[in-house]
Amino acid sequence: METLGHDASGFRARGSFDAGEQPGGDRLERLIQTALAPVTGTSRGYYLWVAFLLMVIAWGIYAYSRQLQDGLIVTGMRDRISWGLYITTFVFFIGISHAGTLISAILRVSQARWRTPVTRMAEFITAVALICGALFVIIDMGRPDRVLNIILYGRWQSPIVWDVLAITTYLTASIAYLFLPMIPDLALFRDRLAGRAAAWRTWLYGLLAVRWQGTGAQWRSMGAAITTAMILIIPIAVSVHTVVSWIFAMTLREPWNSTIFGAFFVAGAIFSGIATLIIVMAILRKVYHLEEYITEKHFVYLGYLMAAFTLIMMYGNVSEYLTTGYKMTEETEFHFRQLFLEQFAGFYWFYIVGGLVVPGLLVLLPWTRNIWGVVVAAILVDAAMWVERYFIVVAGFRVPLMPYEPSTYAPSWVELSVVAAGFALFALLITLFVKVFPIIAVWEVAEDLEGVEITPAAGRLAPELAGGGGS
Amino acid sequence: MPALLPCAMVEMRGLGAHSSPGPDANKVKRQSDYLHDSTAWRGLAGEHKVGRRHVLRLLGLGVLSVVPLPVLPSLLRAALSQGKVQARGPAARTPDGRIRQWAMVIDLRFCDGCQSVGKPPQCTAACIEGHFAPEPMEWVEVFEGELPGGGTQFLPTPCQQCQNPPCVNVCPVAATFSTPEGTVLIDQNRCIGCRICMAACPYDRRFFNWGTAPTPPESHLIGYSPEHQVPTQRGTVMKCDFCPDMARTGTLPYCVQGCPNHAIYYGDLEEDIASNGDQVIVPSRFLSVNQAYHLKEDLGTKPRVYYIAGHGEAVGRDVFKRDRLPTEWPWAERVKGAKTWKR
């Protein structure tokens, strides 16, 4: 008799909020209004920002059209260093996609309550980063018109096919994992915005809320689905970055010939994922005034997680380079020389000092253990992780296989433009997403409100959260 | 759904005060209980009963959706009417019907990098001319390697035709494949240009068409086959194809023909016969008595190209005389203005 719950309970409850009867009602209403704010009002700055991003993307599309016209000759890649900025950016994006799902799933599994205001943004980042990352594989292809050959003639033995499978599975799973906990919030939007928003919004929320009425059966189904999804998604996420690393590790090139590569890439992915989450969180918090929900605590906690990963990354470096350096084959010697002393030394030491040591200190020292300190640390970490992907790819290729002069690689304007467009697309998708979907998991945050302060009223408040109104 | 909203709004009923008692009340109470407890929804998940019929239907649907998966690729292929792509000649056979196993022996004692003839390496030149290999691709490239005791040796390096080919292993679309004759070919009509084979090849023997390669007009008169990679296709990978099409008609590969010192032998391991265009040898014997080796043997790629150690001493090369002349492309003049690239 699920019909009972769904008629008007929500509207009654809402009436009581408006009257401000309940002590928790104010807080809840404020939460709902905060969640609704990006959807209901749009500032001029927003349009300027979107216009700027579109311009960068348009320029990137122009650059890519040149590449389609003339071939990959317009890039800086050549036979001996045959992957460059595109593959670097692909690996980086797949890396930051671990922000979301993995972090939010792990926090959910471990029932860390402070996660609630943060999970939704993390899950956005995952879906968006995966889309951008997958795009870069196609951009890197010599014959993008034949991309379907991977399905038509795919061979299970190829790491590229593993990648395609892992990434599409992860994308599907993370969209599901983004969508499931959003249903009650979508229902809230459906009910709150009915008649107040554009027709397409009403239609969209109505469609996506999948007739959510907040009945017990619905809550139970959703709970079961989220539980299943959050447990499934962790091995999927781990597998994704493992097989990305295997694109490199399955070859006979000395710097990539490493058993630690899978684990090292996964750690790096989570590391850069946390950093990206912190940056996006800081921006959205500022722009949409989420200060009440995203507090210094969230930054510091995520900062601690990041600091723990700086240690794991350092351990990875020691483990990787000490075991190969102890034996010091000829190729290893060449690689170490270019990495630690010559061509890539600037990149490498920036990564070690700027990306691991300094961020760790920023988070751990009490004077910088605040929002600004953590955000600066996160920016450093993201830059350093991109640089790390760059020298893994390019320096790996540079080690000569035969007696020839080592090549050099310098990205062309086309590559730089396309990569800039890729990052702009990432920002644009997040920007647009925020405009359409609730950026805070309202019902999850409200659960905390109830639990802590307004328990008696919960019976009234909850159906409202569940979007318990009309339709 | 929006149409229903007004009526729902009229029918006001909160959870605190039920206007309609009856069987519904229980349900509502449970729901609200559960909402009181913020974590209860998780625990309740297990209680949810799913009927047997429901499960059976789900199972059935699941099976139905999985069954067509194996045939899906062939269906798609048929739909897109992609015909036979890997066109190549029938495998060559010995008189008693065994498939020939092509192999190459490079006797480095006779290779002086063409220093004595005063020309760029003639194996490379002949290969380029015969295959219209575009600039800057040297499918058989003559490297100059340092010897551990000082001095250098020249090292003509075609595709090693591995029997455990790292490139074939990683190709996502089987555009590069092993043949029954023991060679490795590339189908440029299928290659997607992902270049993972170039990352995988430990001998640097794969070349990418970064742009539209300049080739002479006559190259377009030849029909394409993976055994004769003409005309070139931008965005695909190329390499030495070991000339099996020529071998089947009893002709030696271009590089063998081009070598002024007869340093390169080509032949069939199955019938145990090979030639450098001057002499005929029995590979099994020749390789053993001359202590033949493979490049990067320890990688386990099992190449079909064998080397006999040396530095051109048989043709009078001084081990300390360095450098060979750079390779030239004979049509460079004729296709001026075309954009080439460096490796």
| CATH number of the domain where residue A189 is located | 1.20.1630.10
Averaged pLDDT for residues B143-169: 96
pLDDT in tens, B12-33: 333 333 444 444 444 443 443 4
Of B11, B76, B192, the CB nearest to A8: B11
What is the pLDDT, as a whole number, of residue B325? Answer: 96
Q: In this complex, how many residue pairs, one in chain A and one in chain B, have their CB atoms less than 8 Å apart?
A: 261
Mean pLDDT, range B72-85, rounded to an integer? 60
Query: What is the reported pLDDT for B343?
Result: 86
Closest partner residue to A160 (CB to CB) among B36, B47, B172 is B172
Contact between A471 and B2 using a beta-carbon 8 Å cutoff: yes
Residues in chain B with CB shorter than 8 Å from the CB of A11 are: 8-9, 12
Q: How far is CA A94 from CA A138, A153, A272, A350, B199, in A?
A: 14, 25, 10, 22, 20
A72 with B44: Cβ contact below 8 A: no
**pLDDT tens digits for A84-121?**
999 999 999 999 998 877 778 888 888 888 888 888 99
pLDDT at B37: 42
Closest in B36, B190, B299 to A153, CB measured = B190
Query: What mean pLDDT comes out for the span B48-58?
Result: 71
**Mutation to test the A interface, candidates B4, B41, B141, most A Cβ within 10 Å:** B41
Minimum-distance CB partner of A142 among B155, B206, B208: B208
Instruction: Examine residue A189 and state whether it is found in any structural domain, yes or no.
Output: yes
For B172, name the nearest residue in chain A, comparing CA atoms only.
Answer: A158
Q: How close is the nearest chain B Cα to the Cα of A142, in Å?
A: 4
Percentage of chain B exceeding pLDDT 90: 64
Partner-chain contact A154 B173, CB within 8 Å: yes
| The pLDDT of residue B18 | 41
Higher pLDDT, A9 or B96: B96
Residue B195: closest C-alpha in chain A = A82
- The boundaries of the domain holding residue A450 are 7-465
Confidence band for A264, pLDDT divided at 50, 70 and 90: very high
Nearest Cα of chain A lies from the Cα of B167 at a distance, in angstroms, of 9
Question: How many Cβ atoms from other residues are within 10 Å of residue B340's Cβ?
Answer: 15
Q: List CB contacts (< 8 A) between A181 and chain B.
A: none
pLDDT digits over B219-239, tens only? 888 888 899 898 889 999 999
pLDDT computed for residue A450 by the predictor: 58
Cβ of B235 within 8 Å of Cβ of A458? The answer is: no
Q: What are the residue boundaries of the structural domains of chain B, listed by start?
A: 102-315
**pLDDT at residue A327 greater than cutoff 80:** yes
Please indicate, yes or no, if residue A470 is contained in any of the structural domains.
no
CATH architecture classification, B102-315: 2-Layer Sandwich (3.30)
Report the alpha-carbon distance of residue A323 to residue A352 in Å, rounded: 18
Given a cut of 80, is residue A458 above it in pLDDT? no
Question: Over chain B, what is the mean pLDDT?
Answer: 84
Nearest to A220 among B28, B44, B191 (CB): B44
Contact yes or no for B342 and A78 at CB 8 A: yes
Q: Which residue of B has its CA nearest to A223?
A: B42
Yes or no, beta carbons of B5 and A194 under 8 Å apart: yes
In angstroms, what separates the C-alpha of A470 from chain B's closest C-alpha?
A: 5
Cβ-Cβ contacts under 8 Å for B55 (sequence gap 6 or more)? none
**Is the residue at A400 inside a domain?**
yes
Integer CA distances (angstroms), B93 to B104, B163, B244, B250, in order: 17, 19, 12, 12
Share of chain A above pLDDT 90, in %: 73
> Taking CB atoms and an 8 Å limit, are B36 and A458 in contact across chains?
yes
Residue A471 CA to residue A160 CA, distance in Å, equals 47
- Residue A77: closest CA among chain B residues belongs to which residue? B210
Q: Which chain B residues are closer than 8 Å to A143 by Cβ?
A: 191-193, 235-236
Residue among A71, A402, A462 minimizing CB distance to B157: A402
pLDDT given at position B222: 84
Q: What are the pLDDT digits (tens) for B197-226?
A: 999 999 999 999 999 988 888 888 888 889
Confidence of residue A23 (pLDDT cuts 50, 70, 90): low
pLDDT at position B78: 62
Question: A347-357 pLDDT, tens per residue?
Answer: 999 999 999 99
Give the residue from chain A lying closest to B137, CA to CA.
A79
Q: Are A402 and B203 in contact (CB < 8 Å)?
A: yes
- The total number of structural domains in chain A stands at 1
- Of the partner residues A83, A152, A195, the one whose CB lies closest to the CB of residue B82: A152
Residue A1 counted as domain residue? no
Do A71 and B16 lie within an 8 Å CB cutoff? no
Q: Please determine, for residue B65, whether its predicted confidence score (pLDDT) is greater than 90.
A: no
* Lowest mean pLDDT, pick from A14-23, B178-187, B324-333: A14-23
The verdict on a CB contact (< 8 Å) between A151 and B200 is: no
Instruction: Give how far B206 is from chain A: nearest CA, Å.
Output: 8
Contact B199 A407 (CB under 8 A): no
Q: What is the ipTM of this complex?
A: 0.86
Q: Which comes out higher in pLDDT, residue A460 or A326?
A: A326
The more confidently predicted of residues A388 and A470 is A388
For the stretch A119-173, pLDDT in tens is 899 999 999 999 999 999 999 999 999 999 999 999 999 999 999 999 999 999 9
Mean pLDDT of chain A: 88
**A186-228, pLDDT tens digit by residue?**
999 999 888 888 889 989 999 999 999 988 899 999 999 998 9
**Secondary structure string (H, E, C) spanning chain A:** CCHHHHCCHHHHHHHHHHHCCCHHHHHHHHHHHHHHHHHHCCCHHHHHHHHHHHHHHHHHHHHHHHHHHHCHHHCCCECCECCCHHHHHHHHHHHHCCCHHHHHHHHHHCCCHHHHHHHHHHHHHHHHHHHHHHHHHHHHCCCHHHCCHHHHCCCCCCHHHHHHHHHHHHHHHHHHHHHHHHHHHHHHHHHHHCCCCCHHHHHHHHHHCCCCCCCHHHHHHHHHHHHHHHHHHHHHHHHHHHHHHHHHHCCCCHHHCCCCHHHHHHHHHHHHHHHHHHHHHHHHHHHCCCCCCCCHHHHHHHHHHHHHHHHHHHHHHHHHHHHHHHHCCHHHHHHHHHHHHCCCHHHHHHHHHHHHHHHHHHHHCCCCCCHHHHHHHHHHHHHHHHHHHHHHHHHHHHCCCCCCCCCCCCCCHHHHHHHHHHHHHHHHHHHHHHHHCCCCCHHHHHHHHHHHCCHHHHHHHHHHHCCCCCC
Q: What is the arithmetic mean of pLDDT over B21-50?
A: 43
**Is-cis flag, bond preceding B6, omega within 30?**
no
For residues A385 and A275, is the Cβ–Cβ distance under 8 A? yes
